[in-house]
Structure formats: structure tokens, C-alpha cells
Amino acid sequence: MGNADYLYPSTNEYRQCAHPVAVPPPQPFFKSFKNSLKETFFPDDPLRQFKNKTPSRKFFLGLQYFLPILEWGPRYTFQFLKSDLISGITIASLAIPQGISYAKLANLPPILGLYSSFIPPLIYAMMGSSRDLAVGTVAVASLLIGSMLGDEVNATENPTLYLHLAFTATFFAGLLQASLGLLRVGFIVDFLSHATIVGFMGGAATVVILQQLKGILGLQHFTQSTDIISVLRSVFSQIHEWRWESGVLGAVFLFFLLLSRYFSKRRPKFFWISAMAPLTTVILGSLLVYLTHAEKHGVDVIGNLKKGLNPPSFGDFVFTSPYLTTAVKTGMITGIIALAEGIAVGRSFAMFKHYNIDGNKEMVAIGTMNIVGSCFSCYLTTGPFSRSAVNFNAGCKTAMSNVVMAIAVMFTLLFLTPLFHYTPLVVLSAIIISAMLGLIDYEAAIHLWKVDKFDFVVCMGAYTGVVFASVEVGLVIAVAISVLRLLLFVARPRTFVLGNLRNSTIYRSVEQYPTTNDVPGILILQIDAPIYFANSSYLRERISRWIDEEEDKLKSTGETSLQYVIFNMSAVGNIDTSGISMLEEVKKITDRRGLKLVLANPGAEVMKKLNKSKFIETIGKEWIYLTVGEAVEACNYKLHTCKPDTTNEDSQPWNNV
Amino acid sequence: MGNADYLYPSTNEYRQCAHPVAVPPPQPFFKSFKNSLKETFFPDDPLRQFKNKTPSRKFFLGLQYFLPILEWGPRYTFQFLKSDLISGITIASLAIPQGISYAKLANLPPILGLYSSFIPPLIYAMMGSSRDLAVGTVAVASLLIGSMLGDEVNATENPTLYLHLAFTATFFAGLLQASLGLLRVGFIVDFLSHATIVGFMGGAATVVILQQLKGILGLQHFTQSTDIISVLRSVFSQIHEWRWESGVLGAVFLFFLLLSRYFSKRRPKFFWISAMAPLTTVILGSLLVYLTHAEKHGVDVIGNLKKGLNPPSFGDFVFTSPYLTTAVKTGMITGIIALAEGIAVGRSFAMFKHYNIDGNKEMVAIGTMNIVGSCFSCYLTTGPFSRSAVNFNAGCKTAMSNVVMAIAVMFTLLFLTPLFHYTPLVVLSAIIISAMLGLIDYEAAIHLWKVDKFDFVVCMGAYTGVVFASVEVGLVIAVAISVLRLLLFVARPRTFVLGNLRNSTIYRSVEQYPTTNDVPGILILQIDAPIYFANSSYLRERISRWIDEEEDKLKSTGETSLQYVIFNMSAVGNIDTSGISMLEEVKKITDRRGLKLVLANPGAEVMKKLNKSKFIETIGKEWIYLTVGEAVEACNYKLHTCKPDTTNEDSQPWNNV
């Protein structure tokens, strides 16, 4: 016993060595409520820079906050202008054919694609905080607008109403985007995880490519649906209608575009080849048609484009039912998707060039540019990845490149639109396909499979949903699976047994560290999630099973019987009243079995709740330790000096009924 | 330096002392998938008892699993029978008046209340695993059936269709309950947290009490709505219709019932006073009406009740639209709510008497009894709290008390129904009110406020939703707030700074342990949730802010500049690909600022993912430590021997644009 005494000092002495577990000092309810509101809505503390400033300085900072051009404008140099000029003209050459193509995708007049590359970039240049984002329309949102509005109004039968609905939807999209930013709930966009976006973009690109079969094959009739089955049925049911002239032209241009992309990818210096390629194909295609009169032999052309700048459209909004609902719904969904792309693109390039982007501020900028755009005949715009990448590669320095692009587009609108009369639609289809092929990121999907199977499932859910059902279905599936994962993490937390690392007082999972030693007579469990209503029943079952299994194991090996159960609470971030009831029930179960329950390292929130609910008194303050090591030491001490003092007074003969 | 050398051995030597962080041994995908399926659906491992048994033994155990009566039946003694006889007769005396009352609440013929106390208890006695649950109809579900079916079919205009719909709804409720159990997804019930149930039950009780104003005041016309505003408007708009005879009778009986409850509560030995009180009031009330002919003076009576046992009703199910949808919807909602009550009640008493209840098995039992019941003119039953408590207090030993109750009810159905002809409705209202007052658990609500404000909000959401809108709205509000809380826990994880506990290598939150010391030059952050897509943007912002704040603080005090950032990953249960991207971005941010990123104690799942995504190579294996203590020691060693070797090669002049 002399040796044991040396190892395990008397209880009181022992308690003095051990570190007490603190209950955090009580905070007034209002203060803690304010804190958690701040953490939820203002995690980046945007008002910090306003501290200790004079009112006029504060006003100017506030103005700068909403108009970053006031910040970088005064420092703008001629050197910057040169770079921005080159990149601006480059993206304009991409914006013009892409704008026309995507507008066709949305069943809107082609000229709208040019309008949309004029006003919104100017707004963004003033309000945006990204230096690399190039503003323009995007394929996925265009397709969505086409399919969602098309369900309500037929674009060919009632083009005016359809057009007005598109403006209204854009207006609501902008309103939603700006509100999300102003209300600081931009974190909603975070629920579109990386995996969701990979799958969603891939699916949408597949759908868009399938839609192009209409243009490539020169078909007159085509299904309104976007799912792969309807589209393929539509294509193959009219084989006799396929136009070979159109098909050959499309294949040639597509080959040229893909070749130029391939070159640029291998040598980043030749980025301009792929940037200029679309405009080149448009020029070549138009010339070809003009010279051969192919428009009379089954090659459809754009036809007349109106000359002149954006006409105002704020009088055209449709606020009457039943169209209002459709417009709002379309605006919401396309707005969120466009926002997610814009934010993600802005953030990626900012990361690359080492500057910061404020997500909420960006949302306000993108939202405002759509609200203003919808008043001047523009439809939904954001920062497309392809165009921004070209902008970046062309060496843009500030958002001024957007202004340059806008001026180039304005020039086109004023003087050059007649030149597009003979542009064959098949060229536009080829441009879209070549852009979309880059969005099917199978390498990212493989990476997801390797690193995280669940993320892969989310990605595939989004992809198949989009391709086989519709864009909305794919999105809903992906978000639902992602949220389910979060809920499952809480509802089915991992629990595992800890063992002692050799020659230390460190305790770690026996699964992760197979060399750890068991501690005789003591079961150490770690719970890896907050204890909430959603998991309290599960945890009770699972803990009982751990104890059963441990007792079975000890019985079969004939070792010391189980005496203590230690919960390592390090990873238990919070607990609610259902969780506390669970602990109380577990306490009763362990008492009944003659085991002692010990807690190790409960955090601040948990200690606060345990204290308020008097569970600390139920379990006994002396059974809560700061570390697993100290808890084990104390248990070992008691184990070697006396039997545990569990009281069995409420164990009953019921067990034997 | 001699001293420093002593404190900090050379790097290699140091690394040898430190414990390496293990990447868990790789598991084949199928095995880990099987494991997580098992944890999700079979946390209690129900097949364990079948291991290593002969096939015939396995068959018998399986039969026992579904029919627990085979387990306890053979051990049944005369002693048990005596106890079960007493408790069975006691609950029958409560079941008869309550059954009639609740059937009226559901706008169903009163006799259905008796039918429902005959067949279902017999089924439950064979299949149920609780020894204390007393089967019967419940007020809240009855009210819900009344209001939900009443929206579709008027019970007074079309009583037959209404009745058949009620059977159909009960059938679907039973089907859902049994399927939840068989598919082992009973954890859905866990999403009705304790707080939700407190608020929901209180709200439903309030609504039910308000509905009784019709009976107490003897009103002929009454609103179909259940919300407080419609009901009070309906009551006070017809003050001239109030019948004082009815009112006085009701008040007297209610006073008597409450008095008996008060007595029983103060002296648990007199539980039979409150158990017998409802039957006594029924007898007294009926006698009074019979003697004074009060039924001719504005006191409504039950009237004729059919004699005889349950007629079969399996031919009456309505499977045609539009009624089918209503029946399914009603069945789903009432089924879930009834199930939650039954499971919670069974579990509470099992906890009290120290035996275990298998939630999924109970669901199958409750579901089967409802399916069978719906085929024999019964409507939705479960294990109501009030009746089970009386059963428990009366000393029941097994589910046999349900059989005794069923026999007593059968006897009533065969011979005694004419006696209820003169029972005044006002007595039934008084019985309901007195039972419902016990469900408004304001003490539990106060407890929630004290321990967990969020749970209190959930509770109040359910209460106000039920009282001011409808039962379904209340339920949806409460579940939505609860789930939002889970999502917020993940979306906005707590991060906090750790400090060194004096004279130890333990690092804890400086908020919880205000006496901890800062470690000069090192910022130690703990992240308190899994790193998922939903929080990766937030964490990036928040971590940047922590670093900013720490640098500002150090600058203002003129201390050593910040050199290391240590993340304590102990509480990070899992990470997904978005989370890994976040870590990569944070690594870039810290590199750019000339800081070194260090990880401490990443768990098994996190190490696996970091390994697969090559992040371990990005950060460097030597910068991952097993404990915060070891990480700090290693940083301190480098801090005192050399400058950190962070490379700034990719910091750019962009910062100054």
C-alpha cells in the first residue's frame, strides 16, 4: 500500500493538484444575445474601420464602402489604363458573340445580349470590389430563364409578354441579391457547397450542349423540356429533318474553337487565341454565308438587329397575377445561382491576387447592377467564370476593364449591328458548346470521390437531377442531400473509446491510434458532436451498448470489472435541455449498474447549462475533471484504495420480472 | 543560449519526443459504408442476441422480439394478476368517460371512444414492450382529426363519410407508425424535441380547453376553427345564447375534479380519488339529469349509445380522391404526434422502473394496434400520459392491466351503454378541461428559459403557433426552429482563443478560464464544429479577424509580433472538400502574412481527408502535432532559435493598388 499511497495521494490532496473546471462567468442575457447576433450576421465586423473616426471621415468611408471606385479611382494610373484597355477590348470581343448566343438560349431577342453587356458593367465598375470580375450574361441562368418562363408564356406566340416577364424576373433577382447583401444573410449562398456547384454546373452544361443540337442540326421544331430523354427523343424522332449543311458548318467551327482552346491551355501566353476565337468564327461564318447565300440553303442566320442603345424598360414590368408568381420564382432561383457564380468567381481571383472581397458588398453590387439593368432592357447578368478568366489572363488591373468593354459594346450597338445580319446560328451554337465543355469538370468529380464520398454523392445528385429532370430539381436534390449530411452529423454523432498513449497522460481514439493501452476498470468515451434533441436518444442507446460491450469483453477475458465511465466532452460544443435529460438518464443507468459517471473537459457552454440545470450537483462537482488524464488518475486512485461509492438504493426487483 | 538549449532540444530530438499524429489505417469503402449504415439505422444492434444461437432458438427469439408476451407470459404469477386486476379496473373507470369525451372532440360518435378502448389494448398487450403504458385515445390527436377532416367533410352533414375517413386516417397512421419502426427510421420522432413537445402539448391543451366552452356554455353554434381569436369571437358574439344551467353544472363538476386532483397530488396514496373522480362525476351527473329532467332545460345529454361490440370497418376505407389525400395527410400528422406521445410515455416509465424499451419495436406495436383497430371501428389510439400515470400509480405489473381494462370496457359495451343516455355533455367537458389543465406545464417552460433560451423560443413558437394559428402550424414552426438551430450550430461554429493554464501544458479557452496566460507570438484557436461547406466561408472570415485582432493587440502593446497560428482541431469531428479548400486558403493567407499555420490533434476522419487531399503535404507533416502543448513547445523552440521559415515569394504589389 505504501507504493499505492505514493502514486495516489489522499483524495483532498489529489483534488488540490487537479485543475478545477470553470463555469464561465455569467453574462447578462442581452449581452450574450447581442454577441451571438453579431457572430451570425457580422462575422467580418465591417464597422471596425469606422471606429474612432470623425463624422465626415465616417461618411466618406461609408461612401467608399458602397462605391469602391472612390477608393481605387484616385490612385488610378496611366499604366493601369493601358492594361485595362487591352483586357477590356479582349473581353468585348468575347462578350459580343457570347451575349447574342446566350440571349438565344433564353429565347430572348439577340440584341438583349448586347444591351446586357453595356449598362451592368458600368454599374459594377463603380460598386464592385473585385478587380477581375468581367460582367455579362451566363449560359446556365439564361437556360433557366428560358425554361422557367417558357412554362408560363410561349416566347414565339407572345414575345412581348415574354420579354417583359424576363425584365421583371431580372428585377426581382437583383432585388433579392441586393437584399441578401444588405440584410447580411449572404451565407445562404454557402449552402451551395463546392460539390453542389461542380455537379450542378456540369449538369447544366450538359443540358445546354444538348439544346444546341437544335442549332447544329438546323431543326425547326424542338422540345420545350430540358431533360436528356425528351431532348434525345426530339432529336432522333426527326432524323429526316437534319440539315447536313448546318451540321458540317457547326462541326468545323466547333473544331476550330476547341483547337484554339487547346492551344491556349497548353501555353497560357496565347490566351488571346481562345479569347479572339469566338469573334473570329462569327466574322468567318458571316462572311461565308454572305458569299455563298447559304441562308437560302438551310443555314439559319440572326437576321436584322436594331441599331441604337438600350431603350428604357422600367415601364414594362409585369406585376399582375398569374405572371407575377412566375417572375418572382424565376428571379429568386436564377438570382441565387447567378449570385453564387459571381461570388465564387470574384473570390477565386481575389485569392489568386491576394486581396479581399466582402461577400455581402459584392451581393449589393451585383444586385444593384441587375436592378438598374432590368430598367434598361438588360436581363440577368453576373460575373461569368469564362469571361473573368479571360479578363484576368489579359492582365486587367481594375474594374476599369469593364468600362472599356461597355464602351466597345456601345460602339457596336451604335454602328456595327448590321454586320451581324448574316451570322449563322450554327456559329453561335458552336460557341456555346465550346464554352460549356469547359464547365464539365470531371476531374473535380474524381477528386471529390477520392477525398469525400458524401460530397461525390451530392455532386452526382445535382448532375443527374439536372440532366434527367430539370435544373431546379437538381438544385433541390443537391441542397437537400447537403443539409441532410449536416443533420446526420448531429443526429448520429461518432462516439469512440479512448485509450492511453504509451508513456504519457494523453488519451486518444483506439481506432486512430491502435497502439494505445486500455485502462483497466475504466471506459473512456468521446462524443464528437453537440448533444442535442436530435441525438440524445441515439446517444443513450449507443452509450448503453458501449458499456454492454465493454462489460462483455471484460467478462470474457476475466479482467477487473468495469467501475468507471468517463465521457470526454472536449468535442461537445453545446447541449440543450433534451441533452441534459439524456445525461441524467445515463447517470441513472450507470448508478443502477454500479458504475460511476465522470466528465472530462466540458466546455464553457456545456458547463453553463449543466450548472443551471443542477446536473453538476447530481453528478457531483468532484466527478468533473479538466482533462481525461486527471480523471483517469483520480479514478485509478479510488480504484486502488476503495470500492467506488455508487449507491444502488433505487435498483429494483423489476429487472427480474 | 545554454538555457534555451536546455529548454528546447534540437528539432530532430524534439520531434522524436513528440507523439506523431496517426492517419487511421485505410478501410475498404464497402466496409466503412456498411458501418455507417449500421450506426445510422441499428444503433442499438438488435441482432446481437441472435448471435451464436441454433436456428430454432433464433426463430423463437424472433417471435419473442415481435410478441414480448411470449417472454413475460410464462413467468406471469398470481401476485402480478392481483396488481394488474386492480390497475386495470382503475384505468377502465377513467377510460370510459375519457373515451366518450375525446370521441366528441373528434366529432365522432361517442361509442367510438369505447370501441377504441377494447381492441387496441388487446393488441398492445401482446406486442408492446412497456409494462406501464395504458392504451387509449388522446385529446390532441382527437382534436386534430376533428379539425383536419372537418376541413374536407362536414361531420354533421355527412356523418358516414366523415366516419369512414376517420377509419382511413387511422389506418394510414398505423401504417406509418409500423413502417417507421420496421424501416428503423424511428429517429424521426427525435426531431420532436422535449421543448417542442412541452410547447405543443401546452398549446393543444389550451385549444382543447377553449373548445370546451361550447359544452360548458351549452352553445348550439360554434366556429370550426381552433385558433384562440376565432373561438373567443364565436363565444362572445353569442352571449345571449349562454345557458346558465349548463354553466353552473360544468363549474361545479370541474371544481370537484380539480379538488380530487389536488388531493391526489398532495398524497400519492390517494391516486384512486382522482382516478375514480371522472366516473363518479359521470354517474352523479347522469343521476342528476335523470332526476331533474335537466335535459329539457338546456343541458345536452349523450343520448342513445348502441349496445354491442365493435362492428368490423375494414370495408369502409375510403381510397378515392379527393378524400384519400386528406385521410393520408391527417393520418401522417396525427400518427407522428400520437407516436411521439406513446414513445415518450413508455420511455419515461421504463426509466422509472429500470427496464429498457426498444423505440422501433414500440412503433411496430403501436402501428399494428392502430391498423387492426381501424379495421374494427376504432380510431387513433396511443399511450396517453394521464392514463398511463394512473396505471403506474395503481401498481400495474405488466401489460395485462390493458387486457383487464379491455374486458371491463367489453362488459360496458355489452350491458351498460344504456346507462350513459342521461350523461350530460357538460360533464364530459369538465373531464376534458381537468385533464388538459395538467398538460399545460408552465414549470417546464420556466425551466427551459432558465437553462436554454433557444429551447424556450422553440417551446413558445410551438405554443403560440398552436394557439394562434393551428396545430399543424405550431408543429411546423417548432420543428423548423429546432432544425435551424442544428444548422446554425454548424453554420456559425464558435471559435475561441486558448491560453495556457498556469504551471501546466494544458491549453483552455481564455473566456472560460480567465486566469490563463497568453503565449507570446502564438495565437491558438479552437474550432468547435465540423468544417463543412456551410461554415467554411464564415470560418475563413472569422479566422482572418482573429489574426487581425491579435496583431492589432500585439502592435498596441508593443509585444513580440505574431509568428504562429495553431488550430486546435480536437472538436472538429469531420471536414468536407469545401472545408479543405478553406484550410488551403487560410494557409495562403497566413503564408502571405508571414505566419506559420500549425494543426493540433486532428481526429481520425479529418486526418483521413487531409491525407487524401494532400493537404498534409501542403502544410508539412512536421506542423501537425498531437496536442496543443506539443505544438506550442515546438513553436517556442523555433521562435527562440531561429525566425520562422515562411516564404513570402507570392506576396504581390496588388496589396497596394
Distance from CA of B431 to the nearest CA of A (A): 31
User: Which regions of chain B carry the CATH code 3.30.750.24?
Assistant: 492-648
Name the residue with higher pLDDT: A323 or A270. Answer: A323
Q: Band the pLDDT of A18: cuts 50, 70, 90.
A: low
Whether B31 has its CB under 8 Å from any CB of chain A: the answer is no
**Alpha-carbon torsion angle A152, A153, A154, A155, nearest 10:** -120
Q: What is the mean pLDDT of residues B501-513?
A: 87
Whether A22 has its CB under 8 Å from any CB of chain B: the answer is yes
Whether B489 has its CB under 8 Å from any CB of chain A: the answer is yes
Question: Running DSSP on this structure, what letter comes out for residue B565?
Answer: E
Contact A508 B626 (CB under 8 A): yes
Asked if residue A624 lies in contact with residue A599, where contact means CB atoms within 8 angstroms, the answer is yes
Q: Which CATH number fits domain A492-647: 3.30.70.1150, 3.40.50.720, 3.30.750.24, 1.10.3720.10?
A: 3.30.750.24
Residues of chain B contacting A612 with CB distance shorter than 8 Å: 450-451
User: Which residue out of A362, A451, A504, A655 would a mutagenesis test of the B interface target, given it has the greatest number of B Cβ atoms within 10 Å?
Assistant: A451
Q: What is the mean pLDDT of residues B439-467?
A: 90
Q: Is the peptide bond before A68 cis (omega within 30 degrees of 0)?
A: no
Q: Give the pLDDT of residue B270.
A: 74
**DSSP bridge partners of B599:** B567, B624
Residues of chain A contacting B497 with CB distance shorter than 8 Å: none
- In CATH, the number for domain B492-648 is 3.30.750.24
| Set of cell numbers at residue A28 | 447578462
Q: What is the mean pLDDT of residues B59-69?
A: 86
Contact A451 B613 (CB under 8 A): yes
Asked if residue A120 lies in contact with residue A174, where contact means CB atoms within 8 angstroms, the answer is no
| Set of cell numbers at residue B110 | 361517442
Contact B570 A574 (CB under 8 A): no
Residue pLDDT, tens place only, B229-282: 988 998 888 888 888 888 888 899 899 988 888 887 787 777 777 778 888 888
Question: Running DSSP on this structure, what letter comes out for residue A510?
Answer: T
Residue B187 pLDDT > 80: no
Residues B203, B140: Cα–Cα separation, whole Å: 10
Residues of chain B contacting A19 with CB distance shorter than 8 Å: 501, 504, 506
Residue A376 pLDDT > 60: yes
Whether A485 has its CB under 8 Å from any CB of chain B: the answer is yes
Contact B452 A483 (CB under 8 A): no
Nearest to B455 among A19, A577, A592 (CB): A577
Whether A512 has its CB under 8 Å from any CB of chain B: the answer is yes
Q: Band the pLDDT of A2: cuts 50, 70, 90.
A: very low
Find, among A535, A527, A531, A546, the residue nearest to A595 by Cα. A546
Residue B171 pLDDT > 90: yes
Whether B485 has its CB under 8 Å from any CB of chain A: the answer is yes
Contact A506 B627 (CB under 8 A): yes
Contact B573 A578 (CB under 8 A): no
Q: Is the peptide bond before A26 cis (omega within 30 degrees of 0)?
A: no
Whether B499 has its CB under 8 Å from any CB of chain A: the answer is no
Residues of chain B contacting A29 with CB distance shorter than 8 Å: 453
Contact B492 A24 (CB under 8 A): no
Residue B268: C-alpha distances to residues A592, B134, B274, B397 (Å): 25, 19, 10, 18
Residues of chain B contacting A529 with CB distance shorter than 8 Å: 530, 573
Dmax (CA) of chain B: 109
Q: How many CB atoms lie within 10 A of CB B271?
A: 19
Total beta-carbon pairs less than 8 A apart between chain A and chain B: 262
Contact A534 B25 (CB under 8 A): no
Name the residue with higher pLDDT: B80 or A33. Answer: B80
Residue A104 pLDDT > 60: yes
Residue pLDDT, tens place only, B555-602: 888 767 889 999 999 999 899 888 998 999 899 889 988 899 999 999
Residue A228: C-alpha distances to residues A206, A294, A471 (Å): 9, 31, 12
Q: Give the pLDDT of residue A567.
A: 95
Interface ipTM > 0.90: no
Residue pLDDT, tens place only, B625-655: 999 999 999 888 887 775 544 444 443 333 3
Q: Give the pLDDT of residue A245.
A: 80
Q: Give the pLDDT of residue B354.
A: 72
Whether A492 has its CB under 8 Å from any CB of chain B: the answer is yes
What is residue B646's three-state secondary structure?
coil
Residues 188-217 of A with CB under 8 A from B: 190-196
Contact B537 A187 (CB under 8 A): yes
Question: Running DSSP on this structure, what letter comes out for residue A132?
Answer: S
Distance from CA of A569 to the nearest CA of B (A): 9
Q: Which residue has the cell 401498481?
A: B395
Residues 155-194 of B with CB under 8 A from A: 187, 190-194
Q: Give the pLDDT of residue A642.
A: 56
Whether A401 has its CB under 8 Å from any CB of chain B: the answer is no
| Chain B, nearest residue to A19 by Cα | B501
User: Which residue out of B194, B544, B605, B652 would a mutagenesis test of the A interface target, given it has the greatest number of A Cβ atoms within 10 Å?
Assistant: B194
Whether A331 has its CB under 8 Å from any CB of chain B: the answer is no
Contact A489 B574 (CB under 8 A): yes
Whether B37 has its CB under 8 Å from any CB of chain A: the answer is no
Nearest to A534 among B43, B191, B603 (CB): B191
Q: Is the peptide bond before B322 cis (omega within 30 degrees of 0)?
A: yes
Q: Give the pLDDT of residue A409.
A: 93
Contact A537 B190 (CB under 8 A): yes
Calculate Rg over the CA atoms of chain B: 33
Q: Give the pLDDT of residue B151.
A: 85
Whether A446 has its CB under 8 Å from any CB of chain B: the answer is no
Whether B592 has its CB under 8 Å from any CB of chain A: the answer is yes
Residues of chain B contacting A538 with CB distance shorter than 8 Å: 43, 187, 190
Whether A577 has its CB under 8 Å from any CB of chain B: the answer is yes
Residues of chain A contacting B190 with CB distance shorter than 8 Å: 491, 533-538
Q: Band the pLDDT of A655: cuts 50, 70, 90.
A: very low
| Set of cell numbers at residue A352 | 489568386
Q: Fill in the amino acid letter for A650.
A: D
Distance from CA of B24 to the nearest CA of A (A): 5
Q: What is the side-by-side order of every strand in the sheet holding A522-527?
A: A507-509, A495-500, A522-527, A564-568, A596-600, A624-625
Residues of chain B contacting A494 with CB distance shorter than 8 Å: 39, 573, 605
pTM: 0.80
Nearest to B44 among A485, A501, A545 (CB): A545
Nearest to B578 among A194, A537, A542 (CB): A194
| Chain B, nearest residue to A627 by Cα | B506
Residue A490 pLDDT > 90: no
Residues A267, A250: Cα–Cα separation, whole Å: 26
Average pLDDT, chain A: 84
Q: How many CB atoms lie within 10 A of CB A184?
A: 16
Least confident of A559-573, B31-45, B126-140, B427-441: B31-45
Whether A506 has its CB under 8 Å from any CB of chain B: the answer is yes
Contact A40 B492 (CB under 8 A): yes
Q: What is the mean pLDDT of residues A295-308?
A: 79
Q: Give the pLDDT of residue B18.
A: 63
Residues A577, B534: Cα–Cα separation, whole Å: 25
Q: What is the mean pLDDT of residues A412-433?
A: 86
User: Which regions of chain A carry the CATH code 3.30.750.24?
Assistant: 492-647
Residues of chain A contacting B453 with CB distance shorter than 8 Å: 29, 33
Residues of chain A contacting B192 with CB distance shorter than 8 Å: 533
Residues 240-299 of B with CB under 8 A from A: none
| Set of cell numbers at residue B163 | 366516419
Residue pLDDT, tens place only, A347-366: 778 877 777 778 888 999 99
Find, among B484, B474, B404, B614, the residue nearest to B144 by Cα. B474
Indicate the pairing of strand B507-509 with strand B495-500. antiparallel
What is residue B8's three-state secondary structure?
coil
| Chain A, nearest residue to B537 by Cα | A190
